[in-house]
A = this chain, B = another copy of it.
Amino acid sequence: MAKIIPSSDIGVKINKWYELIRRFDSEQAEQLKQEIRTSLDSMEEDQNLLLYFSLMEFRHEVMLDYLKPLKEGKLRANFSELSKEIDEHQTHVTGMLEYYYHFFRGMYEFGRREYIAAISSYQKAEHKLSFVSDDIERAEFHFKMSEIYYHMKQTHISMHHAKLALDVYIQHELYALRTIQCEFIVAGNYDDMRRHEKALPHLERALARSRDFQNVRFIASSLFNMGNSYYRMGDLNRALDLMKESISLFDQNQSDHLRRSIDPLYTAAQILYKQGKNNEALYYREECMKRAEALQDDIHIQKTIFLEALYLRQDAEHIKRIFHFLESSYAYPDIEELALDTAKYYNEMEDYEKSSMFYGEAEHARIYIQRGDCLYEF
């Protein structure tokens, strides 16, 4: 008969496994997971430890869903299975495990874009945060809070949590990716506050760190985000250079390059049309369309058709039909942006009737954006 392994030994290994997950070290994490799974068979009975294992397995899958997404909308991590398992074990989840339970559930709901459900789980976790003594784990919590509030445009609260997370990560070289992600969130919040000049230093730091770690995907994302800030500041030349640079880097990085390159391609085309360089724009518009079709990404397809409808044909009726389509996909932020561009374009052409009409369309989209935020019932 095999020797019985004390559960505390396995507990230590699960902690180590979690560390690898948080560092996005998927290879070593996978290896350790298999090792732990084998030793579970020889472990002394310990329901809490089995639960800890199940929670971490779930967290492992949340990481994989981030690093190596499956087909659009599909997730490896499955909360209802975890929940069933917990019920079967009839374990009463307390303390640190309760923290993990709510926190991981929040991450899972966030991945499904169920933001209100995610916030509710995160808040339950927050009440148990006192059980967490590890600095990095507390930073992880604040990072996830800053991330979700950024997505929900709750800028101040997102900034608050981003700062708490960043203060910790910056002291730990091993968590470079999270440091970069924090800088992206801080910059994104500044962009939302139209303080692009304050976003840039954060993006430059993110770029430098990404280069230190030779992470091509993050270098490309830093360049794209910087380009976006310059675009919104009106510095079109600088924005265009950065878009081009980020496209060529995304294209070097095989996995996911179609999806990631489409936004810089689109912005490059937008910029060139705004500069009246229609011939140069053609390449980016066509490349954008090709990739959007390969991805069956209807929103980018319609947005690309819009560029032609406005800048080449000034076909207001067609533009209205495109907005109508985007509306049916709830792409209101896209409509707001493009309708404003259209209104300003017609204003410059001194076609004020169309200008006024498209300003009205932008206004209409903005009301839907504000309404869309509301998911409460009380």
Contacts and interface: CB of A to CB of B under 8 A. Distances in A.
Contact of A156 (B154, B194, B355, B359): B154
A211 to B, nearest CB: 22
22 contacts: A119-B160, A154-B154, A154-B155, A154-B157, A155-B373, A156-B373, A157-B157, A163-B378, A186-B378, A193-B371, A193-B373, A194-B367, A194-B370, A340-B363, A343-B356, A344-B360, A347-B356, A352-B352, A352-B353, A356-B359, A359-B359, A359-B360
Nearest to A166: B378
Contacts of A378: 163, 186
B374 A195 contact: yes
A371 B157 contact: no
A353 B186 CA distance: 39
Q: Which 8 A-B pairs have the closest CB atoms?
A: A359-B359, A352-B352, A355-B356, A193-B374, A352-B353, A352-B356, A356-B356, A194-B371
Interface of A: 119, 123, 149, 152, 154-157, 159-160, 163, 186, 190, 192-195, 198, 340, 343-344, 346-347, 352-353, 355-356, 359-360, 363, 367, 370-371, 373-374, 376, 378
Please classify the interface of chain A as helix (H, G, I), strand (E, B), loop, or mixed, using the class held by over half of its residues: helix
Contact of A160 (B123, B192, B198): B123
Contacts of A157: 149, 154, 157
A352 B360 CA distance: 12
A196 to B, nearest CB: 10
Given A352-B353, A353-B352, A374 B154 contact: no
A349 B270 CA distance: 34
A34 to B, nearest CB: 41
Contacts of A198: 374, 376
A311 to B, nearest CB: 19
B156 A119 contact: yes
Given A353-B352, A356-B355, A370-B192, A156 B152 contact: yes
Nearest to A376: B159
